[in-house]
Amino acid sequence: MKNLEEKTIREETIFQGRVVSLAVADVRLPNGETAKRELVRHPGAVAIIPLTHDGKIVMVEQYRKPLEKTVVEIPAGKMEQGEQREKTALRELEEETGYKASGLDLLTSFYTAPGFADEILHIFVAKGLRQQKNSLALDEDEFINVIEVTLEEAKQLIEEESICDAKTMYAIQYLELQHLKEENN
């Protein structure tokens, strides 16, 4: 079968939240039949791999209600309407960690769960970090501990399942590959 596209016949938003909306769509399948699709709509997000001058990774520790546990992650956040992804990354880095970066490099972008959501996540590497005094600007319902870990400590946090999300595990894998490349040169 060459054409795999599903044509939307009708779509209804059934929930509009602060972070996501939920829609139900009726679609025409490639074989002419119809089906329903539940769709999570998200404006997109960024994640930042902040590296200190001594090679440590600045991370955030926070409670995640869907998991019912405290986890360690790289800083991340939702893009605001019309906001450029670089601006979002710099804003989220400073708000969540108190660090400013002199530079950002886009590492990659990927869809987090394309089977039901349109969220795209842009991962940046932040360099030239400068810690700002008293510059955390957390949302009123956001509680975060900022920590700095080595690559080895981050790998241990994965083993302990304190790091358990895809974006952070991807970041650690990336840094490990960079480390191996440097060793082999």
Active-site residue numbers?
A: 140
Residues 157, 149 contacting (CB under 8 angstroms): yes
Residues 162, 72 contacting (CB under 8 angstroms): yes
The edge-to-edge listing of strands for the beta sheet with 76-78 is 76-78, 45-50, 120-127, 103-111
Q: Which amino acid is at 167?
A: K
Cβ neighbors of 173 (< 8 A, separation 6 or more) are none
Side-chain-facing half-sphere of 156: CA atoms under 13 Å: 5
**Cα–Cα distance for residue pair 16/117, rounded to 1 Å:** 14
The structure tokens listed for 130 are 């400068």
Q: H or E stretch including 185?
A: none
Side-chain-facing half-sphere of 109: CA atoms under 13 Å: 12
